[in-house]
Each structure stands twice: as structure tokens, then as C-alpha cells.
Chain A
């Protein structure tokens, strides 16, 4: 499928949900209500680490207006010794995360919940619940959790035969690292840290749940997967999944953070107990204290190169914070760290470390930005050390088709090299810099994902099209699907409605995550649409009384497949739809596939910063994202992913971090002091789309959602180094940190 022949693929069409979104009609999780609805509220632990000795809810239950009270005793218990995996989660941890069971593991951990006639009464009732805690010492930072005398969060957790806060490890090895370092002319080893950062979606978690007396349950919530919601709620409440209908509300941002449940199981239990629909919404403070974030990390990176730039060996050791329960994104860190490079001898090892913070959730290429950060910083230093352009160093070692990655796979055709050569040739890379300005580059990789996807394509009686898929649309995927379906059918994209089905109306579809949605859903939409086209051709054949193989579908109409087929006037989609009843019945087709062939994605970033040497402020003044996207089905939304990812990386690099007080409480649980970039903090973010089509996908699609975050931390840091001459190995590059380093240097001079 070449670009020039495409009419809709590659067009910046208006998204199917657009008019609703610009007029306030679009219904997000908190925007709906039901007759008889009451409000739920969560009581949260005031302690970072405490044994829950007892909970007395009697006073809360007695408060007028209170309809139901629940605790962990109402949730299905999954014993810690029997894994129950559900996607990337484990129900052992989920049942303890949605409500503290034996212990409160972080400040803000739910310990009970109330449903009442008003939100105010529910909040009042929470205050009447008496919890007897045995407060324990807490460990927030990695070093605190790994110390010899660290408080051990879980008495059943052991590592190396000893009680430990290390929940597990993931390791990749290739070749002989020691031999590789021995071959190197220059070896650099550095330690790095990154801080936990929140996904920062603007929509707080919210849901509305109604459980009828026969257990028929309707869940309206904002998540990255209605089927994930159905399964987790079923497992945590004991309801059967066929009784649960999970409806995906419009989702106000997720970035991975809405791939798990927080409120839905609680609201379900409260609704069942009260017999009323229950609505629950988190405040921003609750979002910041008890949802997400991604891990903080420390790492040690060692890379050796020859004088010509050839990497002989690389090693990365990582420790990632999981929060109170296991599950740090170690796989992303150790898997993606060295993935952009053809390295003969490589070793990565990562530790999953529990600590008294909220349990981490996925965040855009989970773990990969952490993995890439130290590697891309050390490469920057190596390039300087051997007097090589940093892009040339990356080009010299760039992974390409046939490269065996340290994390295992052998790469197919891909456009990483193109991202580097395009960067090198880009006007940005060659533009002059002013005083106190610096430029940095970095590259990054993300696995991308396929997995289960379902779609239904139906032709309406008036000859238009309704496409239903099973993945919440988090960034414009409906527009991409409309383009693809319009292309295949040869009709105007405006004749296609694209909807997200609920768990009762569309087949199982895995989460919106892993940059999989357009990849996977366009595969099932393509299969369904092709079936529909076959049906349409068969209908035309019946009308013309010729063989179905003698009919072709072109430009939205059935045509005889050449002169031998006979001479018939084409039949349009509308004409065939109008005659469907007499010729065969409803026209529609579905497909359900466990999709494969999602290949990894690569990108390279160029960042310019200007540093105020008296205040220590670093501002990004120019930014360019170059990336192989396979095929840009809707280029504007592809650019949007590239720009949004870069902006999140800039925030992570410069100012975002969780601050804790001495009692283990988050000290900045709001948008005021958790400093995400605002409009005036950023420049325009330039994009350079590279299209090396994925040969395993009908439209050549690769994932585009996550790669754009991965290189950004190091690109910003390398630019700050270029501006100041100082190598900062700890994020964020906040003004006090930069100014202190400048002062140290000045004192040394």
C-alpha cells in the first residue's frame, strides 16, 4: 500500500468524537448519574506503614444518611503464596492495593469506604470509622528499603534466603561482558537516579456502579480497558463476569495509569450492600497520594567503546521502586535500555523494590525512560571522551534489521537509523546556539504490543458504516480507524462512525496500552471490513447473477471484474445496503484476533535548553522528535503523540517529583507543587515522522504512543550538560540542584 494511492490513510480527518469533545457533550467518568444514585468516599491511612489491628465502623453505620460501609473483609482475598496473574497485574497485589488488608502500606492507602446520600455525609462518616493502627517505621526511598536495618514491608518476602524488600529481578545477558570491557579503549561507569513521577492525567479516577438485586452490574468508568475493569471487579467482588457490564466512559488521559482499578470494586461492593447506584470520584489529592505513579530509580551504567566508537560491552544495573506491593516496571528498564544498539556483550539486571509509597502503575513505556536515561547519558559522555559527534556514535552502533538485541529478539526492518540520519541532517541539529544555551540528543526504544482485539463492522440500511472496537480511545484512535475503514471501503470517512463498545456489546479486547490500540484494532477492523466487502461483492453477484469472483470492489462500489464478467452498472454501497433484505440480509462482520507482529519502535530527540546561571533555571527553547512510526494513518494524532511524550519527558527531567515529609506523607499532592509543564514552559515541539512500514501489519502500523517519552529525559539532561559543562546524573534538574552544581564548580575554579 503506497502513500500516493491512499485517499484516507495519511489524511488529517476530523475525529469521530470531535464535535462532542469541543462542545462539552462528551461524557467522561464523572459526568453521568443514575436515578437513586448515592455517593461513595474512601477512608485512607494516615500512616505510611502500619498494621491494622481492628476497624470499628459502627458509628459510621449509625450516621443518618449512610447506606453502606465496607472494609477489606468485603473483598475477595487472594493468598500471597498463589499467583493469580491478570495482564500485567497480580490479583494478590490488587486485592491488597484497592483496600489495605493486613497492613496499610502507604499514606493514603484505602482502609474503608462509605456510601451515603451525599458526598459530605460520606466524608463525615469516614471520620467516624475507628481504626486501631500499630504504626511501623517506614521506608520511602530505595536506599531506605535496601538498608540492612530496613523495615521489611512483607514478612513473606525473601531474597537470597533473607527477609527483604526485593520482590524479584529480571535479567538479560548476551556475550561476555567482562571480555567486552577488556577490549574497550574507554570505559565509563556512572550512577544515576530518577524520581517517581505521576502520569498526570487531568481527569481524576471516577466511576458509577449499579448492582441490581440479581447481581446484574453496570459499571460506568474511565479506564484504559473495560474488560480489565470487568475481570478485576469480578475477581475482587466474587461476581461472575457475565453479570458485569463495564461501559467505557470517555477517558480523560491515562498514560498507563488507568490500566488498573481503584474505585470500581469498592463502588460495586457499596452498591451491592446499599442496593443503590454508587458514584465515586477521587480528589486530585487522592489521585496524587494513592494512584500511579511510576517508579523512582537508581542505576549504575557501564559502557565501553573503542576509539572508533564501536561499543564493545554495556552493563546496566537498576533498582526500581514498586511502591507498597510488587510490580515495578523492571522489564521495560532492563529490556529497553540497550535496545537501540548492536552490542556484542551486554548485561542488564533490574530489582523490583517495595517501599512505602503508592503502588506504581504503568506510565507510558513503563520503565523504558528509566532504562534509557543512564545509557544515553553515558553515551553522551563517551562521545565527548573520544571526540565523536553523539549522533555519529549512535549511528556507529545503531541496531538495524538482523541485529540481535541484548534483550533477545532479532530485529526486522525498522527505521531507527533513519531517525539518526534525519536528526543529523535536521536544521535544528545544525542551528547556532546562543550564550548559556546547549543542545542534547538521545534515542529510545519501546517494545510495542499486539494482543487480543475485537471489532465489528456493520453496514446501516442507508449504506453507511458503524465500526465498533473494544479499546478505549485515549488519543484519537477512532480517527485512525475511520481512515483505515474509509480507505478499504473506498468511501468518505464521514460515512463511518467509530464507537467503543462495552463488555456486553463487543468481544474481548485487551487494554489500551503498550502502544497497541491502532496496531491491533486496525488489524481486526481490516479483517472485518474485508469480510464485509466480500459480502457486498456476493450481493452484487447475486443481483447480476454472475459468479462472486467476477465482482470487484472499487471506490465504494461493486463492479464487474473486467469485460468477461459482463456489462453491469456499478452498485454502490448505498444501493447494495438498500437491497440487502431481498438479497441476503444484514451486512456486517466481526473479527476477534490475538494479534501478533507488533515490532518495536525507535526514536531520537534533539533538545535545546537555555540555563539562567544566576537562578539555575533550565528552560527548553527548542525540541525536535524524530521517530519511525511505520505508517502515519492520521499524521496529526501521530504528531500529537510525539509532542505529548516529549512534553512529559521535559516535565520528568526538569521539575516533576514527589516530595515526602518526615512522616512519609506526600508533601506536594496537587498540581500547584507537583510541577507539570504549563503552556508557557514549552516551545513548539517539532516532529519528523519517518515511515518504514511494519511488514507484519496490513497498513504498516507500528505503535507510536510510548516511544516519544523514552529518549526525552536524557536529551534534556545532555542539553543541560552542553549548556553548563556539568554532568547531572540525578533528576529532576530543578533550579536549586543546577544552581548548587554551578556554585560548586565556581568554588572549585
Chain B
């Protein structure tokens, strides 16, 4: 299978890679670009552990062909903190113990950030439905939902 040459932007930096036409974005992130923060929990879009944003829209990188990244802008968990400063969501997840094993955490954070970018004042129900595609088996979601709501409140207060 001849490889395609793709030019894209990842976490604000220009990036080029070669991929086969059937390769997923997740595989390229993990196996070629060493961006292993996105996890493969299912490979079928049912767990959200591979969440990234594509031109600002939340998507599962396992259900996207790498070739589709041409000319687009991707963000991954590795691009969430600014330098050594964690994003408020990352900080709140730590402070409120909103993670246990941590495998769902990168996808959960990317999804939560996409929510707050769109809706800075979500209700608990809105947070729960927005994050319904991010499975967590450890926490029962309680502390995750609280951390997202608390971060939203802090960020509204700060702005």
C-alpha cells in the first residue's frame, strides 16, 4: 500500500507524516508521532479514550483516517497544558481525585475541555451527557463530574 504524505498541525506545531490509506489517526499518533496520550480502549468509538479535537471539534481518533488530517489542526492531551502550567481542568482533576487508574483521563480531559470551550456554564446533566462517550470504570464518574463543574465555575469567576 503506497503511503500518503500528510501535512497537518498538531498541538499548534506543523507536522508531516507518511501513512497508509487505511491507517487511523490514533495509530499514527501513537505509533509514529510518539503521542501516546491518546489511548485505544475499544477501537470502535465506544469508549472515548482516544479523544482529540479536529479543527476544534471533539472526535474519536480511532474513527478517523490519518489521511483526513491533511490541512487540519489537531489537539491531543499533550497539547493541553501551556508549558509547565496545567490547564485548570488538569489541575482540578488532580486536586479532586477525579482519576484512579488514569487510562480514561486524557480522553476525559480533552472532552471536558471541548465542552467548556463551547459551554462555560454547563449543568450537571449537560456534563454527564457530553461525557457519556468517555467510559470510566474506576470512579463511578462522581468526582469527574464534580471536577468539571468546579473548573467551569472557577474559570467563569476568573474571566
A and B: direct contact (Cβ < 8 Å)? yes
Q: What 0/1 pattern do residues 37 to 58 of B give for CB contact below 8 A with A?
A: 1111111101101000000000
**Contacting B42 at CB < 8 Å: which of A28, A475, A636, A670?**
A670
* Chain B nearest CB, measured from A26 CB (Å): 6
Complex: A475 Cα to B99 Cα, angstroms: 8
Q: Closest chain B residue to A281 by CB distance?
A: B40
Q: Tell me the B130-159 residues at the A interface (CB within 8 Å).
A: 131-146
B101 contacts A474, C-beta separation under 8 Å: yes
Q: Which residue of A lies closest to B87 (CB)?
A: A22
Q: Which of A248-256, A300-308, A353-361, A727-735 is the contact stretch?
A: A248-256
B144 engages A679 (CB within 8 Å): yes
Complex: A679 Cα to B30 Cα, angstroms: 27
Instruction: Contact check, B101 vs A251: say whether CB atoms are below 8 A apart.
Output: yes
**Is A671 a contact partner of B42 (Cβ separation < 8 A)?**
yes
Quick one: CB contact mask for B89-127 with A, threshold 8 Å, 1 for yes? 010011111011111111001000000000000001101
Q: Which partner residue on chain B sits nearest A251 by CB separation?
A: B101
How large, as a class, is the contact surface on chain A?
Answer: 35 or more
Interface positions, chain A 15-44, Cβ under 8 Å from B, are: 15, 17-19, 21-28, 30-31, 33
Q: How many angstroms from the CA of A284 to the CA of B50 in the assembled complex?
A: 14
Quick one: CB contact mask for A83-104 with B, threshold 8 Å, 1 for yes? 0000000000000000000000
Bound Cα distance from A55 to B102, whole angstroms: 41
Q: Which one, A28, A648, A671, A684, contacts B103 given CB within 8 A?
A: A28
Interface-side segment among B2-10, B63-71, B72-80: B72-80
The 8 Å CB contact of A26, one of B41, B46, B102, B142, is: B102
Q: Is the CB of A22 within 8 A of B104?
A: no
Please state if A253 and B103 are interface contacts (CB–CB under 8 Å): yes
**Complex Cα spacing A648 to B138, Å:** 8
Task: Determine if A678 and B133 form an interchain contact, defined as CB atoms under 8 angstroms apart.
Answer: yes
Complex CA distance for A59 and B46, rounded to whole angstroms:
36
Q: Does A719 count as interface, using CB distance less than 8 angstroms?
A: no
> Given A202-B39, A204-B41, A671-B46: A22 and B94 within 8 A (CB)?
yes
Please name all residues of chain B whose beta carbon is closer than 8 Å to the beta carbon of A200 when the two chains form the complex. Answer: 137
Tell me whether A646 is interfacial, beta carbon within 8 Å: yes
Interface string of A462-487 (1 = CB under 8 A from B): 00000000000011100000000000
On chain A, the residues within 8 Å of B101 by CB distance are 201-203, 250-254, 474-475
Closest Cβ of chain A: how far from B132's Cβ, in Å?
A: 4
Q: How far is the CA of A200 from the CA of B76 in the complex (A)?
A: 25
Of B42, B78, B100, B129, the residue contacting A640 (CB under 8 A) is B100
Known contacts A19-B86, A24-B78, A672-B46; A284/B145 CB under 8 A: no
Q: Among A22, A253, A677, A684, point to the contact of B86 (Cβ < 8 A).
A: A22
For B44, B77, B101, which residue has the most chain A Cβ atoms within 10 angstroms? B101
Chain B nearest CB: distance from A288 CB in Å? 10
CA distance A200 to B46 in the complex (A): 13
Q: Tell me the bound Cα distance from A682 to B135 in angstroms.
A: 12
A69 in contact (CB, < 8 A):
no
| Cα–Cα, bound, A497→B12 (Å) | 33
A24 B106 Cβ-Cβ under 8 A:
yes
| A23–B80 CB distance below 8 A | yes
Q: Which residues of A contact B41 (CB under 8 A)?
A: 202-204, 252, 284, 671
Given A22-B105, A203-B39, A203-B101, A647:B132 Cβ within 8 A = no
- Given A15-B94, A23-B86, A644-B139, residue A252 in contact with residue B103 (CB < 8 A): yes
Tell me whether A640 and B143 are in contact in the complex, defined as CB-CB below 8 angstroms, given that A201-B137, A203-B39 are known contacts: yes
Is A22's CB under 8 angstroms from B96's CB? no
Q: Is B35 an interface residue (CB 8 A)?
A: yes
B100 touches A637 (CB 8 A): yes
- With both beta carbons as reference points, the residue of chain A lying nearest to B125 in the complex is identified as A680
Considering only CB atoms, which chain B residue lies closest to A641 in the complex? B100
Q: Once the chains bind, are B143 and A639 in contact (CB under 8 Å)?
A: yes
| Interface status of B33 (Cβ within 8 A of chain A) | no
B137 touches A255 (CB 8 A): yes
Contact of B139 among A24, A250, A643 (CB under 8 A): A643
Q: Contact at B80–A640, with CB atoms within 8 Å?
A: no
B101 to A: closest C-beta gap in Å:
5
Q: Which of A30, A255, A634, A646 contacts B40 (CB 8 A)?
A: A30
In the complex, A541 has a CB within 8 A of chain B: no
From A12, A18, A251, A284, give the contact of B43 (CB < 8 A).
Answer: A284
Identify which of A22, A676, A684 contacts B135 (C-beta below 8 A).
A676
A14 at the interface (CB under 8 A from B): yes
Q: Which residues of chain B are near A33, meaning CB under 8 Å?
A: 31
Say whether A475 contacts B138, CB under 8 Å: yes
Q: Which of B35, B40, B124, B137 contacts A253 (CB 8 A)?
A: B137
Could you tell me if B145 and A679 are in contact, using CB atoms closer than 8 angstroms? yes
Contacts of B109 in A (CB 8 A): 22
| A residues 712-732 in Cβ contact with B at 8 Å | none
Interface presence of A685 (CB below 8 A)? yes
Docked CA distance A530–B95 (Å) = 29
Partner pick for B137 among A634, A636, A644, A670, CB 8 A cutoff: A644
Q: Does A283 contact B (CB under 8 A)?
A: yes
Q: Which 5 interchain pairs have the tightest Cβ spacing?
A: A24-B37, A252-B103, A647-B140, A636-B97, A21-B102
The interface of chain A, by Cβ under 8 A from chain B, is 12, 14-15, 17-19, 21-28, 30-31, 33, 199-204, 250-255, 281, 283-284, 474-476, 634, 636-637, 639-640, 643-648, 670-672, 676-680, 682, 684-685
Can you give 6 A-B contacts (C-beta < 8 A)? A17-B102, A22-B94, A28-B103, A33-B31, A199-B137, A284-B47
Interface contacts beyond A21-B102, A202-B103, A284-B44: sample of 8 additional A-B pairs, CB < 8 Å, sorted by A: A12-B97, A28-B39, A31-B30, A252-B39, A634-B97, A678-B132, A679-B128, A679-B131
